[in-house]
Amino acid sequence: MRGNELKPHIGIFGRRNYGKSSLINFLTGQSVAIVSDVAGTTTDPVKKSMEIGGVGPVVWIDTAGIDDQGVVGHMRIDKSLDMLGQADLALILFTNNRFEAEEVMLVEFCRKRNIPFILIYSQADRFAPDQALLAQLEHDYFTQVFVLTVHNPKLRDPLTSLIRDALPETAFTHRSMLADVVRPADTVVMVTPIDSSAPEGRMILPQVQVLRDLLDIHAMPYFCQPEELPKLLASLQSPPRLVITDSQAYAQVSPLVPEEVFLTSFSVVLARAKGLFEDYVKGTPAISSLHDGDNVLMLESCTHNVTCEDIGRVKLPKLLTKFTGKQLHCETVSGFSNLPRPISEYALVIQCGGCVITAKQLASRLAPAIEAGIPVSNYGLAIAYMNGIFHRAMRIFQ
């Protein structure tokens, strides 16, 4: 249930040859990252999982230097900044008493995106730190500067403790998705269509996550496909508290569920749990304002095999065209791949449920659109809106 992408992410950032790779090896106690005296040894981000006492498993991210050069070097810098936007905590390295434009840029990026950060003066055994500089930085940024040499193992525990304290609790504390709206012993029906886009021999991750949440609440979940829903509802002694369906089955499921029974989708449940629910609610009605030729961006957090029943690439674009009556240009981007055009050229962004990424990663992915004033929606809310049950899909959460 909780893969690498759902663990807290701690990124290490700084210039080339400032000891970023050495630091990740120091913290993990393993030779995870390649270390050399050649500037630019680290090109693509390197990830390593490990446990932190009192926190649990985290993902360490080693990144390329932010002073890299050339066309490829600037691409590496962009990748490092992408990783910074996804981090739950940033470790910003500097040394040789240089805290200049590159370091200020990293700090300001963190402050703008509300990313906690720790300043680390590295290679202290080679370059004695200027105490006046450290004091000035602590005063300017309201933080402690940790002075480090990776050749002193006694510093590992104090630094680990500092990192543990700096990690936001939301990064590693599991919060129930439904405990505020579903009570112990409540009956919940989960409608899970099995079509060509369903994985062979298993359920998709959002369904598994919601099921586990319901079991933790001590609710009583039932499963069926849409065709079996009338028979299942008739067999229950009393109406269920809630019906949760796959978004693409809204049109089939909604007429079958009594109006007094709450109805929503797996994607809506996840959207609410990830923290951008109000942005989605505000942005979804923009679907009705789309014009001929508008670009619509579908963001999928995972990568998967595409089928003729793919929701982001096939079903949603068809539904948008039918609902709006407009000729739209829909583009789908998976994972954290680069966008095919500037974000300002899109009229609407529709994000999947985000079951495989952290709330911070999802917020980072959508931040450019939100900052540019572009409406954002969610697969589940967008489909509910176009099926005329937008408010019904949210009613249990209001």
Write out the DSSP string of 299-363. Answer: EESS-----TT-IIIIIHHHHHHHHH-S--EEEEEETTPPPSS-GGG-SEEEE---TTS-HHHHH
Residue 94 and residue 192 in one domain: no
Q: What is the CATH number of the domain that holds 261?
A: 3.40.50.11420
d(CA 132, CA 45): 33
Tokens of 16: 């080339």
Angle, vertex CA 240, rays to CA 235 and CA 246, nearest 5: 100
Q: How many CA atoms lie within 13 A of 45 on its CB side?
A: 21
d(CA 158, CA 48): 20
Residue 284 and residue 362 in one domain: yes
Q: Do the beta carbons of residue 309 and residue 247 sit within 8 Å? A: no
Q: Do the beta carbons of residue 112 and residue 86 sit within 8 Å? A: no
Q: Is residue 286 assigned to a domain?
A: yes
Adjacency order of strands within the sheet including 89-94: 46-52, 56-62, 9-13, 89-94, 117-121, 145-147
d(CA 87, CA 5): 11
**pTM of the predicted model as reported, rounded to 2 decimal places:** 0.71
d(CA 376, CA 296): 10
Query: How many residues are recorded in the chain?
Result: 398
Q: Is residue 221 assigned to a domain?
A: yes
Of 242, 269, 296, the one marking the end of a domain is 269
Domain hosting 382: range is 278-391
Tokens of 63: 């990144």
Q: Is residue 396 assigned to a domain?
A: no
Residue 161 and residue 207 in one domain: no
Instruction: Provide the pLDDT for residue 173.
Output: 63
Q: Is residue 340 assigned to a domain?
A: yes
Tokens of 329: 């240009």
Which residue type sits at 351? Q
pLDDT in tens, the chain (398 residues): 344 456 888 999 999 989 998 998 888 776 654 444 444 444 457 788 887 776 778 888 888 888 877 777 778 788 888 888 888 899 999 999 999 999 999 999 999 888 999 999 999 999 999 999 999 999 999 988 999 999 999 999 999 999 989 988 766 666 789 999 999 999 999 999 886 566 677 778 889 999 999 999 999 999 999 999 999 999 999 999 999 999 889 999 999 999 999 999 999 998 898 888 999 999 999 999 999 999 999 998 875 544 445 788 888 999 999 999 999 999 999 877 789 999 999 999 999 888 777 788 888 889 999 999 999 999 999 999 999 999 999 999 98
DSSP state letters, 52-75: ETTTEEEEEEE---TT--HHHHHH
Of 138, 171, 204, the one marking the end of a domain is 171
